[in-house]
Amino acid sequence: MSAITVEQLTKEFGDVTAVDELSFTVESGELFGLLGPNGAGKSTLIKMLVTLLRPTAGTATVNGHDIHDERSAVRDSLGIVFQEPALDDELTGAENLALHGRLYGQRTDERNQRIDEVLDLIDLQDERDELVEHYSGGMKRRLEIGRGLMHEPSVLFLDEPTVGLDARARRDTWEYIQKMNAQSGISIVLTTHYIEEAEQLCDRVAIVDDGEIVALDSPAELKSSLGGDVVTLALESDDSIPRFCDHLETASWVTDYTTAAGTVHVTLTRGESRIVDLVHLADDADVRITSIDLHKPNLESVFLSVTGRTFDEREGEGEVKGKGKYEGEQNHTASADSPRHNDAATSVERQQ
């Protein structure tokens, strides 16, 4: 049985569609990534799957439980780490874990055993009795991940788990996520806008843009689908793009190309050796190139290939055209953004 099955899931805020008829599965034990620029709809999707938002249409199951009709069972079977911190700085690391265990109804002996297991997993045994206010950013993030594991969930959701961490803490967190996935066999759904994070961690990646999945496969397969490097050429004027593209059509060594706002993105093999040839084509077309960048295949290249835009261009468009969408998404869910809110809701539902 798949850990998660999503079928035509949709979320609308007024006349804005934040998630648009998404369908995919996450296999048991898989580390599955949702990669996309800010405002793409990743967090809205997660909030529907953990029952903090009700879908407008479509459905999904988490560990076989329907997100519409079995909300309490869904919550009992998952762990969540959101972007916003949810630790109590005035408690120790062990006390934060104990509080979470109490909310999930764990008996004292079970809870104490699980605290030791989790602290070992996240390498914080030596700091178990220190106040969390003295923890580094990376230590706090590891404790939050451990907190999500206290009740031994079948699925763990990590929403932008390394935002705000420095490069060293980010890489350390990656190691703990991989270790946790390998040792526990837990299914993990991770959202991120960091290209390297998705490539480093995920078995499969769904690239999300404007509420839709535009590509889904393993990082290696997604990159190999490009057929080569991407050379980005900025041209002096938009008017010159059609002339340059006409000449690209004659070059057998060009695999593909896309255009966007004064730039042409050319896919080809051995990009570094073809830059001179591209310059010659521009000369033949009487086109002036103002800058050239070479990109080796990565997941942002895949995003560029399927959308015609880079992450930065997409986020820039969002600021100008889609500001209402992003703010609407945040404002609508502001009261349900913290794991504490979810724990309290779970506790209330269990008592009813």
Q: Of the candidates 275, 296, 317, which is a domain's last residue?
A: 296
Residue 70, strand partner residues: none
**β-strand pairing of 78-81 with 155-159:** parallel
CATH number at residue 276: 3.30.70.100
- Hey, which of 163-177, 237-251, 261-275 has the most confident mean pLDDT? 237-251
pLDDT of 325 above 80: no
pLDDT, mean of residues 311-329: 55
Query: What confidence category does residue 3 fall into, taking pLDDT thresholds of 50, 70 and 90?
Result: very high
Say what the pLDDT of residue 346 is: 37
pLDDT of 318 above 70: no
pLDDT of 342 above 50: no
Residues 109 and 72 in one domain: yes
Say what the pLDDT of residue 319 is: 52
Query: What confidence category does residue 306 fall into, taking pLDDT thresholds of 50, 70 and 90?
Result: confident
pLDDT of 150 above 80: yes
Contacts (Cβ under 8 Å, ≥6 apart) of 202: 31, 32, 33, 35, 190, 219
Specify if 313 maps to a domain: no
Q: In which domain, by residue range, is 185 found?
A: 4-222+325-351
pTM: 0.75
Strand order from edge to edge, sheet including 263-268: 254-260, 263-268, 229-235, 289-295
pLDDT, mean of residues 207-225: 93
Top pLDDT among 269 and 335 is at 269
Please, which contacts does 327-336 make with residues 24 or more away whose CB atoms are closer than 8 Å? Answer: 328/13, 328/14, 328/16, 328/18, 329/13, 329/18, 329/39, 329/41, 329/43, 329/44, 332/13, 332/53, 333/43, 333/44, 333/47, 333/52, 333/53, 336/47, 336/52, 336/53
Specify if 315 maps to a domain: no
Residues 275 and 180 in one domain: no
Specify if 305 maps to a domain: no
Specify if 318 maps to a domain: no
Specify if 332 maps to a domain: yes
Say what the pLDDT of residue 328 is: 38
DSSP tag of 219: H
Top pLDDT among 193 and 339 is at 193
CA distance 14 to 117: 45
Residues 148 and 167 in one domain: yes
Top pLDDT among 335 and 45 is at 45
